[in-house]
Structure 1
Amino acid sequence: MQLAFLLYKYFPFGGLQRDFVRIAQVCQARGHQIRVYTLSWEGEVPEGFELVMVPVKSWFNHRRYAKFTRWVQADMQRRPVDRVVGFNKMPGLDSYYAADPCYEEKARTLRKPMYRYSPRYRHFSAYERAVFDPAGHTALMMISATQMALFKQHYGTPDERFHLLPPGISPDRRAPANAAELRQAARQRLGAEFDLPADGLLLVQIGSDFHRKGLDRSIQALAALPETLRRRTRLVALGADDPGSMQALAREHGVAGQVFMPGGRKDVPDFLLASDVLLHPARQENTGTVLLEALVAGLPLLVTEVCGYAHYVQDADCGLVAPEPFKQNVFNAQLAQMLGDDDQRQRWQQNALAFADSHDLYSMPEKAADVILGEIK
């Protein structure tokens, strides 16, 4: 079949974007043709993908997205496809991968009532309803049970339209048999790059959109560590975002020399092996794939309860979860506790690796392809 994959923006370090590539490649491996429609593409195009850059512009996202939809639909009229797969919400989809949270829930709980009279709200609300309308046909690939319940609440979508997928952690994130040897080599290389002392503690935070991911919370927690821990500790934040405001915050708290923001990196597996704790104090996170990437690498975690995958940290007993509502002093104390107890971190590592070996955390791309291709009902 000829499959059309639609997403507004592709960059190589986004979670949605990486999921899209892996799902599309599974479909491709099963013998199907892949055509991708997008407004923006950064990085290499996977072999065999037909990339269509949609040439529409507007000052406002919602208007540009409406133009995108019309252009793509017109192109598919000229060059038909067998299935239309969306990674953003829009009309005309045969299947939708729900990486984004429920817009209607956010509009009603996080915005003032007047917001719902805006053109932006009308657009995004209509596009979400087009996907989840109970009279529709779109197959819904869900990665968060919490969000699935919210969509049902707001739209009354029939249960049979939903397909709750398992996580889809890339196998290259798993700790290999020689993980201890690789950790030592990675710490030596990264330690030189980020000024890590011989007895240093390395914190890593991974994800673009630094404010939403809570990087400011991590910087404050680093600054609040007891002196003996703070001077040994380095924080590296990987992700595509403007570091200016976070660098200013680090300077304000006196830890500018211990906080590094090198952008997106391709050596994330090295960081997962070399680090001592993964921080992910997100303000909003539908799932948080990076949490499971750290888990299968054996890296202890400190995350916020809002993350859809936070329960895996508790299920595996491989770190700590900061409760909601978030309190900075509680998060600070949790980080100090984790860094001050080497034996506990070792137990968390062992628990994580045992959990990774005994649970399905990897098959999401294959299950998603089953839904897209109509191989499950």
Structure 2
Amino acid sequence: MQLAFLLYKYFPFGGLQRDLVRIAQTCQQRGHRIRVYTLSWQGDVPEGFEVVTVPVRSWLNHRRYKKFTRWVEADMHRRPVDRVVGFNKMPGLDVYYAADPCFEDKSRRLRKPWYRYSPRYRHFSAYERAVFSPAAKTELLMISATQQALFKQYYATPEHRFHLLPPGISPDRRAPDNAAELRVAARQKLGAEFALPADGLLLVQIGSDFERKGLDRSIQALAALPEALRARTRLVALGSDDPAKMQGLADQLGVGAQVFMPGGRADVPDFLLAADLLLHPARHENTGTVLLEALVAGLPLLVTEACGYAHYVLDADCGRVATQPFDQSAFNRLLAEMLASDRDRARWHDNALRFADETDLYSMPERAADVILGSTA
């Protein structure tokens, strides 16, 4: 069968983008052809994928997305497909992968009432309704039970259309048998690159959109550490974002030489093995795949309750979760306590690896492919 996957933008270090590739490759391995429609594609194209870059333009995102939908519909009319799988909300989808949170809920909770009269609101509200309304036929691949409840609340979507998936952590994120040796090598390599002292503590934060991921909160917590701990500690933030604002904050707080933002990296597993703690104080996060990538690598975590996957940190007892509403002083204290206790970090490391062995955190691509291909019958 010919499958069409729709995604507005592809870049190699995005979590949604990686999910698309893994799900599409799973379908491909089962004998099906893959065509991807996108506005832009950065990076290598997986073998056997047909990538169609849709040639539409507009200064406004919602107008560009409407043009994208029309262009893709016309192209699929000329070159039919058997199934349409969307990774952004839009009309005409047979299957939707729900990585984005409920737009209607965010609009009502986080925006002023007048926002709902804007063209932008009308566009995204209509596109979400086209996917989740009771009249729609779209099968829904869910990665957050919390978001599933919100969609049902706003749209009365029938229960049978929801398919709650397990996480889909890539097996290469798991700590290998020789993880201790690899950690030593990774710390030597990264220590030279990021000026990490021999007895240093390495904090890592992973994810683009530094403001939403709460990098400013991490920088403030680093600056608030007791002097002896602060001198030993380095913070590396990986992700595709402009570092100027966050670097300015670090300089202002006197820790500019201890904060590094090298962009997106392909050697993320090295960081997960070399680091002493993963920070993810996100303001809002539908799931937070990076939390589980750290967990299966045995890396203790300090995260906010706003992350959909924060409950796994509690389930595994592999770190600490800062409660909502966020309190910077409380977060600062948690970081200082976690860095001060080698014993606790060792316990969290062991707990994480045990949980990773006992829990299905990996089969999302296979389960998603089951729904996509099963619904073609």
Above 0.5 in TM-score?
yes
Q: Deviation string for 1:41-96 (max 9, x for gaps)?
A: 10000000000000000000000000000000000000000000000000000000
Shift of 1:245: 0.1
Q: Conserved in 2, the CA contact under 8 Å of 1:8 and 1:39?
A: yes
After superposition, where does 1:257-296 map in structure 2 within 5 Å?
257-296=257-296
- Could you tell me the TM-score, scaled by structure 2's length? 0.99
Letter in 1 for 2:318: C
Q: What displacement does 1:375 show?
A: 6.1
Where does residue 63 of structure 1 map in the other structure? 63
**Quick check: 2:82–2:376 contact (8 Å CA) kept in 1?**
no
Deviations 1:97-156 (A, max 9, x none): 000000000001100000000000000000000000111100000000000000000000
In the alignment, which residue of structure 1 is the partner of 2:146? 146
Alignment correspondent of 2:233? 233
1:12 matched to which residue of 2? 12
CA distance in structure 1 between the partners assigned to 2:139 and 2:30 by the alignment = 20
Residue type at the aligned position of 1:173: R
What is the identity, as a one-letter code, of the residue corresponding to 2:250? A
Q: Residues of 2 paired with 1:21 and 1:337: CA distance?
A: 39
Whether 2:344 is the aligned partner of 1:344: answer yes
The secondary structure found in structure 1 opposite 2:279 is: strand
Question: What is the DSSP-based 3-state SS (H/G/I as helix, E as strand, rest coil) of the residue aligned with 2:35?
Answer: strand
Alpha-carbon offset, residue 376 of structure 1 = 10
Match of 1:368 in 2: 368
**Aligned residues of 1:370 and 1:376 also touching (Cα < 8 A):** no
Matched, 1:23 2:38: no
- Tell me the TM-score normalized by structure 1: 0.99
Q: What secondary structure does 1:167 align onto?
A: coil
| Equivalent-residue separation in structure 2 for 1:50 and 1:135 (angstroms) | 32
Alpha-carbon distance between aligned partners in 2 of 1:136 and 1:203, rounded to the nearest angstrom? 45
What CA distance in whole angstroms lies between the structure 2 residues aligned with 1:16 and 1:284?
16
Residues 139-194 of structure 1: CA distance to partner in whole angstroms, max 9, x if unpaired? 00000000000000000000000000000000000000000000000000000000
Partner Cα separation in structure 2 for residue 11 and residue 83 of structure 1: 23
Query: How many pairs were matched up?
Result: 377
Letter in 1 for 2:121: Y
Letter in 2 for 1:351: N
- Read off the aligned partner of 1:298 and give its amino acid letter: G
Distance 2:172 2:5 in 1: 25
Q: Are 1:219 and 2:222 counterparts? A: no
| 1:74-89 matches, cutoff 5 A | 74-89=74-89
SS at match of 2:374: coil
Structure 2: how far apart are the matches of 1:340 and 1:18?
A: 35
Aligned-residue CA RMSD (Å):
0.8
Structure 1: how far apart are the matches of 2:214 and 2:187? 25
The 1-side partners of 2:252 and 2:206 are apart by 22
Distance 1:267 1:258 in 2: 20
What letter is aligned with 2:174? R
Residue pair 2:83, 2:376 contacting (<8 A) in 1 also: no
1:43 alignment counterpart:
43
Residue 202 of structure 1 contacts residue 277 of structure 1 at CA under 8 Å; is this kept in 2? Answer: yes
Structure 1: which 5+ residue stretches go unaligned? none
Q: Identity over aligned residues, as a percent? A: 80
Aligned to 1:119: 119
CA distance in structure 1 between the aligned counterparts of 2:19 and 2:26, rounded to whole angstroms: 11
**Could you tell me which amino acid in structure 2 is paired with residue 102 of structure 1?**
C
| 1:135 paired residue number | 135
Structure 1 runs of 4+ off > 4 angstroms? none
